Structures are given as structure tokens and as C-alpha cells.
Amino acid sequence: MIDLKDNQSSFLVDSAVATSLPICLYEVNEMSRLVSRIRSPVRREGGETYLLLTLLSFGASVGLTRLFLEVTGYPQLGGASLHIAHVLWGGLFLFMAALLPLIFANRWVYILGSILAGLGVGLFIDEVGKFITQSNDYFYSAAAPIVYAFFLLTVLVYLQTRRPEKRSARVELYRALDALSEVLDRDLDLQEREDLESRLRFVEKTGEAEGLAKLARELLDFLNSDAVFVISDKPTFLERIEKRFLIFENRWITRARFRAILAGGLLALGVAAVINYARLLIGTQVPETLEKWLTVWFEVGRVTDVRGLLWLLTRVGLEGIVGFLLFLAAIQFIIGKDRWGQAIAYFSLLLSLTVTNLLVFYFEQFSTIIPALVQFLLLLGVLRYKHRFLSKVLDRRME
């Protein structure tokens, strides 16, 4: 006797397989074709700005989280049996940052995504102490330098993205097509149109071999037609702030005043850098002072063996070197040798930010954030002084 139900079920299964198999094969084929067409990456226009937003939100996320927890006494969310760690919020922000550019094509998505990514990675990396210790120790001493090192690596990536990319017809057309979204949103201003036309003219001149010149000419004709709506140039909030700052800078911050500000800042940082070095020198003459100083580090668990003592001495030695260089740079500025002062200050501040502070973060933990921020601002001041006063002198000498 033939079982009709079994035959019907088998027929339905075979039909489903026969229907879905071509679809799966088609999707696999499309995926392989997509992968085979992947070429060299093209850096997104404005990518360094998005990465800067990620950096700023990353730093703010770690700093404000630590400050909030310190002020509120490290509260726990979730009741008696649960603890909702802020790493979960970090993962949520990172997931949102990944989803947004997959779903939406608008440019504002990159701004929002970069901020969410910075907040997410900050909340995530802040709990690194729990992930690298068997006891899930949030206050593990090495956590602070790990967070700082990760931040420095992100800064390095940011600096790499600021370097100009080699121009080619393909790269410029990629960016031109991306900029055309401003036309769709009716938000294209005069400066943006000039930049867009410049890119397309470059493609028109250099893209014949790749067959891109014709497309560039068609787009240029479209841009110059009446169909394109162009708004008047309206400075953004940040551009207005920058303009006011430049007016204030040119009017009030003369070269002599700028030199005095840098010299004073370098001297102050130099004094702060050699304090521990001075304590060590005094301790060699007064053992009680040295014992008291080492006892403090022993009680907080930073110096518990010979290795910890060696790291402390290395930190003190590096701080002494940086302090001496900062003093030397300040003296160079005071006596008018600006170029030497700028070079020494730049090297010493960079050494402090990239090497010395890794050890300082280990011993002082996140209280080092503000001194590191001051060092960074002074480094920006040194670079600004070079750009305003020393680069022009060098250009005149070359002429």
C-alpha cells in the first residue's frame, strides 16, 4: 500500500530544495564575483575628520567614565545578583556604529558612527583590567598604560590618514562621486562645487586610459548646468570659531608673547618632570626620605619586588631626561634661539607623551590624563609657533 502522506512530504521537501538551491548558488556566485572585483582601497574624503571625532570621543569616554565612577563610588547597575558592566554599553555603541553605514547612505551617518565608535571603544577598553586578569581586577595597574598605548596607536592611524594620498583618476573619481551626494541633498555650496570641478577636470585629463574621461566630462557638463542648485557659502560653527581665534591670535598673541607663553609652560612642565628625580637624589643623602617615598609605592602595590623598583627607577630617569630637555628648550626660547627651542621642545614633549607617560600611567594611573593633556596642548603650541614664525623665515631663506 502506498503512503500518500509520505509521498506528499517527500515531494514538498524536494520542491523546496529544488527552489532554494538555485537561489543559494546565485548568491554564492554573486559573492564570488564581488570579491574578485575588489581592488586597492581608496581613502574616503574627510576620513581624517571622522577619525578625529573617534579619537576625541574615545578619550572623553574613558576620562569621563573614570571620573563618574570615582565621584559616585563605583556603583553597580543590576541589583543584588546582576552587574551590568559598562563594557556592554560599549559593545552596543560599537554595534550601532557598524550598522549605521550599512543601512544609510547619507554623509551624516559617518559623523554619528565615528562618535559612537569612539564612545564604544572607550567604554570597552576601560574594562581591559577585567579581561587580562584571572581575578577580573578592574583596578589592575597595567590597565591604564594599556588604554593609553591603545589611544596612541589610534593617534598614529590618524596621523597616517592625514598624509596626502597619491592622486589618480580612479581615486579622484571615487571622491567626486561621493561628493555628488551634496547635489542630491541640495546642499552643494560654491567651494564644494569648485573642489568637485577640480577633481573632475583632473580625471578628464588623466583618465583616458581607464575610460573615465568621458564620464568626467558628462559630470562637468551637468555641474555647469542650471539643474544644479548651489547654495551660498555659509561658514559652519567651527569655522566661525576658527576665524575669531585667528583674529584674536593675530591681534594679541605676538611673537614675543607667544615665546614667553611657551617658555613659561616648558619651565613649569620641566619642574613637574624632575620632582621625582630630585626626591631620588635627596634620598641618596637622607635615607629616611627615600624610605618614605618607596613605602608609598609599596603600599599601593606598584613596587613589590626588584622588577617594580627597576620600572620606578626607569620612570624617574626618563622624567629627569625630559625635565632637563624642557629646561633647555625654555632657555633657548628665552635667549631668542627659537629654532633650537622649538626642536628640543618638540622632541622632549614627544618623548614624554609616547614613552615616559606609559610608565607614569602605570604608577599614577588615570590621574595622569590631565598632565598628558597639558603636554599635548603645549606640543600643539610649539607646532603652531613653528608654523606662524619659523616656517616663513625658512621659506624666505630658501628664496
Tally of CB atoms within 10 A around 226: 5
**Do 251 and 216 share a structural domain?**
no
For residues 229 and 254, state if they share a domain. Answer: no
In whole angstroms, give the CA distance from residue 391 to residue 389: 6
Non-local (6+) Cβ contacts of 388 within 8 A are: 255, 258
In a domain, 29, yes or no: no
The enclosing H or E element of 230 equals: strand 230-231
pLDDT of residue 188: 86
Residue 395 confidence class, pLDDT cut points 50, 70, 90: very low
Q: Within a domain: residue 25?
A: no
Looking at residue 292, its pLDDT comes to 79
Give yes or no: residues 331 and 381 share one domain: yes
Model pLDDT for residues 155-211, shown as the tens digit of each residue: 999 988 888 888 888 889 999 999 998 888 888 888 889 999 999 999 989 877 667
What pLDDT, in 10s, does the model give residues 42-66?
Answer: 888 888 999 999 999 999 999 999 9
Considering only residues 144 and 17, tell me which one the structure prediction assigns the higher pLDDT. 144
**186 and 112, same structural domain?**
no
Q: pLDDT confidence of 272, banded at 50, 70, 90? A: confident
- Greater pLDDT, 122 or 368: 122
Does the residue 39 lie in any domain? no
Check residue 166 and give its pLDDT. 86
Q: What is the mean pLDDT of residues 373-391?
A: 92
| C-alpha cell of residue 109 | 551617518
Which residue, of 211, 234, 257, is where some domain finishes?
234
Q: Are residues 227 and 145 in the same domain?
A: no
Return the higher-pLDDT residue of 39 and 189.
189
Q: Assess whether pLDDT exceeds 60 at residue 2.
A: no
Category of 211 on φ-ψ map: left (φ > 0), alpha (ψ -120 to 50) or beta: left
Average pLDDT over residues 92-112: 94
pLDDT of residue 78: 67
* 17 confidence band (pLDDT: 50, 70, 90): very low
Q: Tell me the per-residue pLDDT of 363-374, one tens digit each, with 9 for 90 and over.
A: 888 888 999 999
Cβ neighbours of residue 385 closer than 8 Å, sequence gap 6 or more: 258, 259, 262, 338, 342
Both 377 and 251 in one domain: the answer is yes
> Is 261 within the bounds of a domain?
yes
Q: How many domains does the chain have?
A: 3
Query: Count of CB atoms within 10 A of residue 31's CB?
Result: 10
Domain final position from 135, 162, 189: 162
Whether 373 is in a domain gets the answer yes
Which among 113, 137, 162 is the end of a domain?
Answer: 162
Residue 242 belongs to what domain range? Answer: 238-398
What percentage of the chain reaches a pLDDT higher than 90?
Answer: 42
More confident residue, 294 or 348: 348
Decide if 294 is inside a domain: yes
2 located within any domain: no
